[in-house]
């Protein structure tokens, strides 16, 4: 290796060492900058938290300021009302004081007149006059004075006919007063008698209505509706009446049963359930129900038929005969039920062909046809 090459190699190595040194310094600076950046991020985050806290505190202070301003306004209005009431009370006190002064002056004048009226009698005459007055008011005394004056006018120079008329009217007044007292006594006796009678039968009526209401309400509960039976009581017994209230929809309240609020089918269902509730109160070996489903829509007819089947097929109940020209399909039936189809008319076959109307045989034929088609 020549001297020139050697010097070039040394120079290159020196430059390489310098580069490595600078790289190391740059790496150290980079690490320092990363640390400072992290510190700045943490400091920035801390400052953001402080800013949020300060902003939250500012909002709270503003809210408190608004509340305080509202309280101040309310207190100012309340203070104004109190001032107004105070002024009104002061005016009332002033008016009362003025009225008191007037009454004092009037009392002084009245006392002076009284003393002048009793004259020399003094306190004894005053006590006598007070005893005559007693608890009477000024109006009572004036009325008595007027009555006595009228008597004096009748006594002095009165027409005999007028006097007789006066005496007759006085007697009539006495008779009418006596009759009034007798009628009042009879009225009190009648009222006591009515009260005694009501105490005997009203609890019984309430008990019967309560039982009817229980049965009626139960029937409606079974069809997811509501019903109520109550009695309207009035001072006039002729106005007493049975009130029936029903509800067929969840968003409704109990409404009185009438032709304006419920449909025809709903009224029919309500009437039937009411009759069934009444029948539950009466003992009978059997009951006949004729065409109960006429005029009903299918939904109501199904509900009524199901309740009829449930009630009629209970143990230890009356026998029911349900007569109807038609029935819906898919109705509920019970093993205790019997269905009798009455066939009559001019097109009926003669007696010798009665087998043609053997319904059991017809059912067997229908079953065979269905089985064959399957």
Q: How far apart are CA 310 and CA 273, in angstroms?
A: 13
The pLDDT score that the predictor gives to residue 122 is 61
The pLDDT score that the predictor gives to residue 229 is 92
Q: How far apart are CA 328 and CA 291, in angstroms?
A: 13
The pLDDT score that the predictor gives to residue 230 is 92
pTM (2 d.p.): 0.44
User: In degrees rounded to 5, what are phi and psi of residue 61?
Assistant: -65, -40
Nearest Cα neighbor of 359 from 335, 334, 342 is: 342
Strand order in the sheet with 226-232: 226-232, 241-247, 255-256
300 CB-side CA count, 13 A: 19
Write out the two tokens for 311: 């009630």
Digitized pLDDT (tens) for each residue of the chain, 374 residues in all: 678 877 877 788 887 888 888 888 888 888 888 888 888 888 888 888 888 888 888 888 888 888 888 888 888 888 888 888 888 888 888 888 888 888 888 888 877 777 776 666 666 766 776 777 677 777 777 777 777 777 766 665 556 777 678 778 888 888 888 888 888 888 888 888 888 888 888 888 888 889 989 988 988 888 888 999 998 888 888 888 989 999 888 888 888 888 888 777 788 888 888 888 887 777 778 878 787 777 777 887 888 888 888 888 888 778 888 888 888 888 888 888 888 888 777 777 776 776 667 777 878 888 888 888 76
**Number of other residues whose CB lies within 10 A of the CB of residue 198:** 13
Write out the two tokens for 351: 């007696």
What residues are paired with 241 via a beta bridge? 232
The pLDDT score that the predictor gives to residue 120 is 63
What residues are paired with 245 via a beta bridge? 228, 256
Helix (H) or strand (E) holding 219: helix 160-221
DSSP string, 235-295: SSGGG-EEEEEEE-STT---EE--TTTS-HHHHHHHHHHHHHHHHTTS--SEEEEESTTTT
């Amino acid at each position: 290796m020549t001297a020139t090459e050697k010097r070039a190699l040394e120079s290159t190595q020196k430059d390489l060492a310098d580069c490595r040194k600078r790289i190391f310094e740059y790496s150290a600076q980079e690490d320092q900058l990363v640390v400072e950046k992290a510190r700045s991020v943490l400091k920035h985050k801390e400052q953001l938290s402080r800013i949020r806290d300060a902003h939250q505190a500012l909002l709270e202070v503003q809210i408190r300021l608004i509340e305080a301003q509202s309280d101040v306004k309310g207190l100012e209005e309340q203070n104004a009302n109190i001032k107004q009431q105070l002024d009104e009370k002061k005016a009332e006190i002033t008016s009362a004081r003025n009225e008191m002064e007037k009454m004092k002056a009037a009392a002084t004048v009245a006392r002076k007149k009284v003393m002048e009226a009793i004259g020399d009698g003094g306190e004894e005459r005053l006590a006598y006059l007070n005893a005559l007055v007693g608890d009477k008011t000024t109006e009572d005394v004036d009325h008595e004075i007027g009555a006595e004056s009228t008597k004096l006018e009748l006594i002095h120079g009165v027409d005999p006919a007028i006097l007789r008329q006066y005496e007759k009217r006085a007697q009539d007044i006495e008779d009418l007063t006596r009759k009034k007292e007798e009628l009042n006594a009879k009225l009190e006796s009648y009222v006591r008698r009515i009260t005694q009678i009501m105490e005997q039968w009203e609890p019984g009526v309430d008990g019967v209505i309560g039982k009817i209401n229980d049965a009626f309400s139960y029937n409606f509960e079974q069809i997811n509706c509501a019903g109520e039976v109550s009695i309207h009581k009035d001072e006039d017994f002729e106005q007493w009446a049975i009130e029936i209230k029903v509800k067929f929809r969840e968003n409704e309240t109990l409404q009185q049963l009438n032709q304006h609020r419920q449909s025809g089918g709903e009224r029919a269902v309500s009437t039937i359930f009411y009759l069934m509730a009444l029948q539950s109160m009466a003992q009978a070996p059997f009951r006949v129900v004729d065409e109960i489903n006429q005029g009903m829509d299918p939904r109501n007819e199904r509900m009524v038929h199901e309740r009829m089947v449930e009630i009629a097929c209970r143990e230890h109940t009356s026998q029911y005969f349900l007569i109807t020209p038609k029935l819906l399909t898919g109705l509920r039936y019970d093993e205790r039920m019997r269905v009798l189809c009455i066939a009559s008319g001019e097109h009926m076959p003669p007696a010798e062909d009665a087998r043609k109307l053997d319904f059991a045989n017809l059912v067997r034929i229908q079953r065979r046809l269905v089985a064959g088609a399957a």
